[in-house]
Amino acid sequence: MALTKTQLEAFEKQLTDWKNELELGQSENVHAMTEQDQTSFPDPTDQASMETDRNFDLRIKDRERKLIKKINQTIERLQDGDFGECDSCGGNISVKRLQARPVTTLCIECKTAQEQEERTRLD
């Protein structure tokens, strides 16, 4: 089942909006971190708490950066005509799956098999 032109345009708009939102958040966070005073707290617990919060924020921003990269790759697939095609089996990815996770590259069957294989390796 191929996606219609309207569906493809809707996915592209959704992905572009999502990317813009993430990029705006990234730039706001960088600005906030550079403006923030590098205050040294007299209490080591307060200092540790501040550093923990900063590390948590950095991990989130790193995940968002990786997501932006995936979004860019998905937009490229959309423009190349490969969007909605499973990288593993070459079959179609269902519209419901694409709506839930537009950056996915695997159909539900291949993703399930991949996750089962990962669990088997961990055991």
24 CB burial (10 A radius; 0-12, 13-18, 19+): exposed
- 40-95 pLDDT, tens digit per residue, is 677 888 888 888 988 898 899 999 999 999 999 999 999 999 999 999 999 999 99
Nearest 5°: CA angle at 120, between 118 and 123? 110
**Residue 47 carries which side chain, given as an amino acid letter?**
Q
Task: Note the pLDDT of residue 89.
Answer: 94
Of 72, 66, 75, 53, the closest CA to residue 26 belongs to 66
- 21-35 pLDDT, tens digit per residue, is 999 888 777 666 666
Map out the domains of the chain with their CATH numbers: 1-83 (1.20.120.910), 84-123 (no CATH)
pTM: 0.80
